[in-house]
Amino acid sequence: MTAASPDLGTPRTAGPDLLRSVFRQHAAGVAVITAHGSRPVGFTATSLTSVAAEPPLLSFGIGTGSSSWPAVAEAEHVGVHILGEHQRELAATFARSGADRFGPATSWRTGPEGVPLLDGVLAWLVCKVVTRVPAGDHRIVLAQPVIGDPTGPGRPLLYHQGRFNALRD
């Protein structure tokens, strides 16, 4: 290490705690993924990624222990919603275990392919599920957008240091 190098701290052995600690430093956009099974399901995701432009593909991760997993495991289509900074409570509702996610406090409608669509989001897509890839206690879902709307109001909601945050100017 040279005199000009920053202090890198003490390295820790890789494991779940290290991964969580490192990713608390990574600001991520906040999305809600929805699907319809025997009832509408949804969850908050910070793992949404644009994968390819041609053909258009995206991915997200979902825990196999999630209450939404059984419906997502069978769904042909899913909804992807980019949340705005005005939707912190919605993000928290869809992140909270046992919450009534599609109760009276949630404004939504049935969209194309029967996918639940949330109102007031920055952008939404209905996507055809291409594949589900095993990844530890999660699955990585690859999906191809088929229809959507990128013109919602507001600025994006971020997740950082375990909290939902707004962009600063």
pLDDT at 2 (0 to 100): 52
pLDDT at 3 (0 to 100): 53
pLDDT at 5 (0 to 100): 56
Q: Please name the amino acid found at residue 101.
A: R
Residues of the chain with pLDDT under 50: 1
Strand 116-118 with 56-63, pairing:
unpaired
pLDDT at 65 (0 to 100): 96
pLDDT at 169 (0 to 100): 72
pLDDT at 4 (0 to 100): 54
pLDDT at 15 (0 to 100): 78
Domain ranges of the chain: 16-153
For 1-31, what is the HEC assignment? Answer: CCCCCCCCCCCCCCCHHHHHHHHCCCCEECE
Whole-model pTM? 0.89
Ramachandran angles phi, psi of 143, nearest 5°? -140, 150
CA distance 65 to 117: 23
Q: Which CATH superfamily is domain 16-153 in?
A: Electron Transport, Fmn-binding Protein; Chain A (2.30.110.10)
CA distance 2 to 132: 46
Strand 49-53 with 116-118, pairing:
unpaired
pLDDT at 108 (0 to 100): 98
The answer to whether the beta carbons of residues 98 and 113 sit under 8 Å apart is no
